[in-house]
Structure 1
Amino acid sequence: MIIGVGIDVVDIERFGQSLVRTPGLSERLFTPAEAKRQLASLAARFAAKEAVAKALGAPGNLHWHDAEVFSEPSGRPLLELRGTVRARADELGVRSVHLSLSHDAGIASAIVVLEG
């Protein structure tokens, strides 16, 4: 059963400008492992965090580091939920998380599907 679906798109150039303009933003948004990525991948990971929040009903108490995007050796992206994000997912009965990321033509996007 589908519990939630979230999608988000990010203008990569504008996102990069925000990271430069706002000291500490990268550290607030990304785990140390995520922060090592190139700008397009960072924008896609930010889109994934926004998408999972939307799929969870956008409660205001979620922490950015509690949703971490990492990749399998094959390159397949996975979303690890913990802390505040995991608690909300558990509350809704989420058993599986599906994630798709893309970046092309200056736009990064992410889709998250939550299954129970």
Structure 2
Amino acid sequence: MNWNKLQDNAQLDQIRNESAEQPVLIFKHSTRCSISSTALSRMERNWSDAAGIKPYYLDLIAFRSVSNQVAEDFGVPHQSPQVLLIQNGECVYDASHFDISFDALKQQVVSA
């Protein structure tokens, strides 16, 4: 799995634009949380590029302001860990903690 690092608020406009062409995943990860590490590991083990989703990784400890902007821009209350699926500039799916699963994410791409 090849993560794209999300480290700057300006990248959120890029993500909105990219999401018009393909679904985009934002994975908000806390490097201080064992649940977050488990969710990240599960996502990486089950990931398939064949789903056509572009993945972004956000270290929310190092880039707290970006994490806050993600919550504001996409209208999703902050959780950690958390995934957001962005399509056509909007968050069409989000999950947190042990509800994070690649299979659930794939199903949302098909239905969105």
Q: Normalization by structure 2: what TM-score?
A: 0.32
More strand by share: 1
* Larger relative contact order, structure 1 or 2 (CA cutoff 8 Å, min sep 6): 1
User: Who wins on radius of gyration, i.e. which is larger?
Assistant: 1
